[in-house]
Amino acid sequence: MPMALLIIDMINDFVHGKFGFPGARDVLPRIAAIATAARKRRLPVIYICDAHRPGDPEISIWGEHAMEGTEGSRIVKELSPGPDDLVLTKNTYDAFFETPLNKILREKGVDQLILTGVVTDICIQNTAAGAFFRGYKLVVPEDCVSSPNLKRHLDSLAYMREIYGAKIVKSEGFSKFLTYQFFRDR
């Protein structure tokens, strides 16, 4: 099972709350569709959620947000996890840093990741870096990630394509491509 779907920071504070923005709400139905397709193909669906404690490094930059155990750190109801989905928490931008994500993916034989969620130029890009450095191949459906800043969103997509070799795709018709064909040419 070499491919897994990561749904990153689709939590209340980033969609409807303190840092919520229209683009985060716009991607909800497309992420839900990809998650449904991934589940049908028995691909791992893994939610990665900010869950901060006082003193975490991001708090000094952004102030309190997505505090562990609060409503702000919970997954939005529009993307409720399925019974076999995994939910992991993180306290930095990179979903791999000091989390069990890499171990879980290796145990499942995953070597390709589909990245979705928010914010493109922060947690998505930093997770892409963490994945790339660990040898994962990346697919980013560009209309399933979002940033409140369009220029930074587009720059980040270009960066992930050029620096990490990410395949940047559209979600339309994506479910039929949830196979291993993205990287057959490598």
Band the pLDDT of 172: cuts 50, 70, 90.
confident
Using a pLDDT cut of 90, give the percent of the chain over it: 89
pLDDT for 41-97, tens place per residue? 999 999 999 999 999 999 999 999 999 999 999 999 999 999 999 999 999 999 999
Using a pLDDT cut of 70, give the percent of the chain over it: 92
Give the C-alpha distances (Å, rounded to integers) separating 120 from 24, 141, 160, 180: 10, 11, 10, 24
Residue 1: per-residue pLDDT: 47
Rg (CA), the chain: 15
From CA 165, how far away is CA 58, in angstroms rounded?
28
Residue 152 has pLDDT above 90, yes or no: yes
Residue 104 has pLDDT above 70, yes or no: yes
From CA 13, how far away is CA 23, in angstroms rounded?
14
Between 169 and 179, the more confident residue is: 169
Nearest alpha-carbon partner for 5 in 89, 114, 88, 132 = 114
Strand partners, 162: none
CATH for the stretch 3-178: 3.40.50.850
